[in-house]
Amino acid sequence: MKKIVIGITGASGIRYALKIIDVLKRECDLCVIYTRAARLVMMDEEGIDISEIKERHGDVKFYDESDFSCKYASGSQRPDAVIVCPCSAATLSSVANGLSSNLLERVCDVALKEGVKLILVFRETPLNLIHIENMKKVAMAGGIILPACPGFYNKPKSVEDMVDFVVAKTLKRIGIDSELLKPWEGDNKS
């Protein structure tokens, strides 16, 4: 069973993280780390508190950003992947510059130093040069930048279809195929 850490920050797009949890909870050992800002955005965007998410997913381990008791704060414990979704500009900056001022930043720092797959699902637009430079730093250190940019070749009919697109692309990067997105098959002319 894959061990996956999901970090939720205060960027818009909490729905992506909730979908990832829903998909992975059946087949992975999940650890969710949420920031204070994530709690605020979750209430604003989805009208739910983290306590409701914890109740719905009783078998998932949840950690507040200030709780360093999470085993993945140590390099001696290796998850198979760390996904930060959505990833705020502040978290991107902290990861790019090696800060470990909260649990999520520490887990990302450990992932990079231990060679664990780190995926930052960045959710900000437009980008400024600082964002781009920070993305470059993370990529050069071994992380993967996966902007939350839904495609339209799958002809989405709902917001959920667009969420599924980004989630499917994220899961693919950690080696998990899902049925959320039908692969593009090219030109159907015969």
Q: Where are the beta strands (DSSP E) in 38-189?
A: 61-64, 81-87, 117-122, 144-145
Q: Is 125 annotated as a binding residue?
A: no
For the entire predicted model, the pTM comes to 0.95
Supply the range of the domain harboring residue 81. 2-173
For the chain, how big is the Rg over CA atoms in Å? Answer: 16
Laid out side by side, the sheet with 2-8 consists of 61-64, 28-34, 2-8, 81-87, 117-122, 144-145
pLDDT at 190: 57
Q: Is 115 annotated as a binding residue?
A: no
Q: Is 90 annotated as a binding residue?
A: yes
* Residue 85 belongs to a domain: yes
Nearest to 95 by CA among 107, 86, 77: 107
Q: Is 88 annotated as a binding residue?
A: yes
User: How confident is the chain (190 residues) per 10-residue block, as mean pLDDT?
Assistant: 97 97 95 98 96 94 97 96 98 97 98 98 97 98 97 93 96 93 72
* Residue 179 belongs to a domain: no
Q: Where are the beta strands (DSSP E) in 77-138?
A: 81-87, 117-122
* Residue 18 belongs to a domain: yes
pLDDT at 181: 86
Q: Is 89 annotated as a binding residue?
A: yes
pLDDT at 46: 96
Contact criterion met (CB below 8 Å) for 82 and 118: yes
Q: Is 153 annotated as a binding residue?
A: yes
Q: How many domains does the chain have?
A: 1
pLDDT at 182: 80
* Residue 181 belongs to a domain: no
Q: Is 35 annotated as a binding residue?
A: yes
Provide CB contacts within 8 A for 36, sequence distance 6+: 10, 64, 65
* Residue 130 belongs to a domain: yes
Q: Is 96 annotated as a binding residue?
A: no
* Residue 168 belongs to a domain: yes
pLDDT at 186: 76
Q: Is 38 annotated as a binding residue?
A: no
* Residue 188 belongs to a domain: no
Q: HSE-up of 103 (CA within 13 Å, CB side)?
A: 23
What's 28's domain CATH number?
Answer: 3.40.50.1950
* Residue 105 belongs to a domain: yes
Q: Is 168 annotated as a binding residue?
A: no
Q: What is the number of other CB atoms lying within 10 angstroms of the CB of residue 47? A: 8
Provide CB contacts within 8 A for 2, sequence distance 6+: 27, 28, 29, 80, 81, 174, 175, 176
